[in-house]
Amino acid sequence: MSSDQLAVQRRTPYVETFDDGPGGWLAWERPGVNVLPEINNGVITSRSPWGVDANHAPPGLGYLHLLAFLITRASLVLDQGRPNRFVDEGYSRDLTNARLTVRLRGKVEQRGAELVLLAQADIPGTRANYVLTGQPFRIAPDWSEQTLILAPDADQWACLGARHDRSHIYGCGDIGVLLHDVNVDLILVLFPLHIVPIQPVTDVDRLRPHREYEPDHHYLPEGEIHIDTVRLEYP
């Protein structure tokens, strides 16, 4: 039986403490650059300056900082993301009404951004991508455990859509269909971002940050976030 087939079966709690490494979690520096997260004593540290993901720039919903992500489908796992405990141990990708708990702390000048969960899945016709804007994580200096409920409630989620040249890849759909099989990834992101190029450009939303211009980080979130444990409990 393949890892993709196993991934619809196991529904015992998935718990990642990072005590034995990233367990398949990765960090994103900038377009095309995925790296192992910084881990010290079982804690991921993600610090600014963060790269800017423009795949969902207007007419999509906006720009993102990707802090940490977990690929959920065996065929998409990157070599540097192995071993991936979620995939290798056959956890279910049906996250309907699952509880996601993260133990975290941080100190961030948020500048209008929230720390939220992004879920992506390939559904008929598109790669749907939704952020759980109705349940943002609180960023505070002291450790706390915060739990999200991944309910198929359209009022809790916002579709990111796609920038002008990515509509053939990214799109929207039924959040219930997405949650029934989250077959791409789960990502912790800072969203939305206010993008101001260091040098004036003609149309910022049609150009690519870090490729065709550099964003001014004075307008972007600044600080660091620590992630100690991620727990996923199935209903």
Domain at 166, CATH number: 2.60.120.260
3-state secondary structure the chain: CCHHHHCCCECCCEEECCCCCCCCEEEEEECCEEECCEEECCEEEEECCCCCECCCCCCCCCCEEEEEEEECCHHHCCHHHCCCHHHHCCECCCCCCEEEEEEEEEEEECCCCEEEEEEEEEECCEEEEEECCCCCECCCCCCEEEEEEECCCCCCCEECCCCCCCCCCEECCCHHHHHHCCCCEEEEEEECCCCCECCCCCCHHHCCECCCECECHHHCCEEEEEEEEEEEECC
- In this predicted structure, the answer to whether residue 32 has a pLDDT above a threshold of 90 is no
Q: Is residue 114 part of a domain?
A: yes
Q: Is residue 45 part of a domain?
A: yes
How many other CB atoms are there within 10 angstroms of residue 203's CB atom?
Answer: 7
Q: Is residue 188 part of a domain?
A: yes
Domain containing 189 equals 3-193+218-233
- pLDDT, tens digit (0-9, with 9 covering 90-100), for 51-69: 999 999 999 999 999 999 9
Tell me, yes or no, if the pTM score tops 0.85. yes
Residue whose tokens read 């690929």: 71
- In this predicted structure, the answer to whether residue 3 has a pLDDT above a threshold of 70 is no
Average pLDDT of every residue of the chain: 94
| Tokens matching residue 229 | 């444990």
Q: Is residue 209 part of a domain?
A: no
Band of pLDDT at residue 6, cut at 50, 70 and 90: very low
Q: Is residue 105 part of a domain?
A: yes
- In this predicted structure, the answer to whether residue 4 has a pLDDT above a threshold of 80 is no
Q: Is residue 150 part of a domain?
A: yes
What pLDDT is stored for residue 1 in this prediction? 41
What pLDDT is stored for residue 7 in this prediction? 45
- pLDDT, tens digit (0-9, with 9 covering 90-100), for 127-180: 999 999 999 999 999 999 999 999 999 999 999 999 999 999 999 999 999 999
Q: Is residue 210 part of a domain?
A: no
Q: Is residue 133 part of a domain?
A: yes
- In this predicted structure, the answer to whether residue 5 has a pLDDT above a threshold of 80 is no
How many other CB atoms are there within 10 angstroms of residue 213's CB atom?
Answer: 17
Q: Poorest-confidence range of 7-11, 165-169, 198-202? A: 7-11
Overall domain count for the chain: 1
